[in-house]
A and B are shown apart, each in its own frame.
Chain A
Amino acid sequence: MKFRKFLIALAEVFRFIKRFFKEAFYPPFEVKETLRQCFLLGNRSLFLIVFTSFLAGIVFTKQSRPSLASFGAESWLPSLVSQAVVRSLGPLITGLICAGKLGSNIGAELASMQVSEQIDAMEVSGTRPYAYLVVSRVLATTLMLPLLVIFADIVALMGSFVMVHAINKTSFTLFINEVSAVVTYLDIFSSLVKSAFFGFAIGIVGSYAGYHSEKGTTGVGKAANTAVVVSMIFIFVIDLVSLQVLTLFRAQ
């Protein structure tokens, strides 16, 4: 019985995602609302991401230094850190922060609209609520996450530079040189693609949780909670899958 319910829910999720592609790529397009959502979403999360990435850059650098030093390889610090930041740390921090901040926001917002019959009201007045509410939000998270990751990467590297400079007196140009020597276009490109997937997962999971929330005020809290937990799990899964795919690429 439980398993059957799970399968039904799974089918519903697939239908929800299918609907996204159907409504996102056929006119009328929700350009204005999508741009508005992009702005709101950037506004909501940028500061948090900048702050946490900077700290993460500092902490990661400081923690990596002793183990490198014990091999006498301290000069590799910028290369090691920059690769870690671009490939993994930046996208992961951004993804998790956004899952918490934006996922809960989307889930709660749509759930309260669902609970108070606002989505039904849009539906019966023929104003296409799925396109207006879901498509715009999912497009916004998908487009904005890569952008936010670029910010996170830059800021985390700055944090790292502050740390490296404080201890080894490395100059900024030297630091940048070392960074650009190890970070490849494939690294950057793949991390941006990966973060677009993060964004898609955050948007679609949050929207689904909200759109299909239970009636009653407890539904709103549950939807926000589901949105955060499930999208975080998805982020780790996507991270793992993308690592596997990339390993194939790099092996060639």
Chain B
Amino acid sequence: MRPQTDTIIDSKPDTRGKVVVEMQHVHKSFGDRDVLTDFNLQLFERENLVILGKSGSGKSVAIKIMVGLLKPDSGSINVLGYDVPNLSNKELNELRLQIGFSFQLSALYDSMSVRENLEFPLKRNLGIYDRQQLNEKVMSALQDVGLESARDMNPAELSGGMKKRIGIARTLILNPKIMLYDEPTAGLDPVTSGEINELILRVRDKYNTSSIIITHDISCARQTSDRIVGLFDGRNKVGGTFDELKKQNAPDLQPFFNY
């Protein structure tokens, strides 16, 4: 049985695959600042779910809780069958290998070249040191993001959009089941944003990933989403497809659509 969260509009439940991420009644505060008060979320297999909310609303906190970077104060988080807050280091590592995390600031290792960035998880995680195998995997991940030419460059030489792509390539190299994109288009011009949005769709098709895309960019939400949830005042208030939300005219979402 799939527990229903109260506010999510579940328009066509039967066509969906199984639930890969489920967060229930998650609460998180820093000091006396409540960031998430009652956050609920379900991500289905092969779905692109957008979490929409203004900055500082706790979107990043929500996905960092999902991968165990932050501990929730209460609530349950289940990712691919793992009970995230109560995992041993070994189990957490197993889980993280199946999740790709694209960071808001790209988070490329700036002391390493692009190639070394991509090889880093292969070496340290999978213990692959064979030169040929490394080269093949690096090239195929770079091809997926359309940046073979950047292989021997340093992160400082890359543009913002290129950094985002390399960051995504670095997570694809481990064949993730789930992709988490933290503000993939923030700080990018509209054309580059469009390219990143297309990349997100291509990744889903090629890798069969289920993805959560965090954004405050409505055109990113429109292009990449199968479903959108809005995060306001620490809880997910509205949900549905882009068109449903647009029709629904919820006051919280007004500013996004009118922008």
Chain B residue contacts of A63, Cβ below 8 A: none
Residue of A113, A121, A125 with most partner-chain B CB within 10 A = A125
- Assess whether A12 is interfacial by the CB under 8 Å rule: no
- Assess whether A132 is interfacial by the CB under 8 Å rule: yes
Q: Is the CB of A117 within 8 A of B124?
A: no
Chain A residue contacts of B250, Cβ below 8 A: none
- Docked complex Cα distance between A125 and B120 (Å): 9
At the interface, is chain A mostly helix, strand, loop or mixed? helix
Residue of A112, A120, A121 with most partner-chain B CB within 10 A = A121
Q: Which residue of B lies closest to A118 (CB)?
A: B107
Q: How large is the interface on A (under 10, 10 to 19, 20 to 34, 35 or more residues)?
A: 10 to 19
- Assess whether A126 is interfacial by the CB under 8 Å rule: yes
- Docked complex Cα distance between A98 and B93 (Å): 36
Q: Is the CB of A126 within 8 A of B108?
A: no
- Docked complex Cα distance between A116 and B108 (Å): 8
- Docked complex Cα distance between A113 and B103 (Å): 13
A210 CB to closest chain B CB (Å) equals 14
The A-contacting residues of B in range 102-118, CB under 8 angstroms, are 103-105, 107-110
Q: Is the CB of A125 within 8 A of B171?
A: yes
Q: How large is the interface on B (under 10, 10 to 19, 20 to 34, 35 or more residues)?
A: 20 to 34
- Assess whether A123 is interfacial by the CB under 8 Å rule: yes
Q: Is the CB of A117 within 8 A of B93?
A: no
Q: Is the CB of B107 within 8 A of A127?
A: no
Given A118-B108, A120-B69, residue A126 in contact with residue B103 (CB < 8 A): no
Chain B residue contacts of A112, Cβ below 8 A: 110
Q: Find A117's partner among B99, B104, B125 (CB 8 Å cutoff).
A: B104
- Assess whether A248 is interfacial by the CB under 8 Å rule: no
- Docked complex Cα distance between A116 and B160 (Å): 13
Chain B residue contacts of A122, Cβ below 8 A: 109, 120
Q: Which residue of B lies closest to A112 (CB)?
A: B110
- Docked complex Cα distance between A132 and B121 (Å): 12
- Assess whether A44 is interfacial by the CB under 8 Å rule: no
The B-contacting residues of A in range 78-130, CB under 8 angstroms, are 112-113, 116-118, 120-128
Chain A residue contacts of B125, Cβ below 8 A: 125-127
The A-contacting residues of B in range 56-101, CB under 8 angstroms, are 64, 67, 69, 93, 96-97, 99, 101
Chain A residue contacts of B109, Cβ below 8 A: 113, 118, 121-122
Q: Is the CB of B96 within 8 A of A117?
A: no
Q: Mark A137-161, 1 if CB is under 8 A from B, else 0.
A: 0000000000000000000000000
14 contacts between A and B (CB under 8 A): A113-B109, A116-B110, A118-B108, A118-B109, A118-B110, A120-B64, A121-B167, A121-B170, A123-B69, A124-B96, A125-B97, A125-B174, A127-B120, A127-B121
A-binding residues in B (CB < 8 A): 64, 67, 69, 93, 96-97, 99, 101, 103-105, 107-110, 120-121, 124-125, 167, 170-171, 174
Given A113-B109, A118-B109, A125-B125, 10 further pairs, Cβ under 8 A: A116-B105, A117-B105, A120-B64, A121-B101, A121-B107, A122-B120, A125-B101, A126-B96, A126-B121, A127-B120
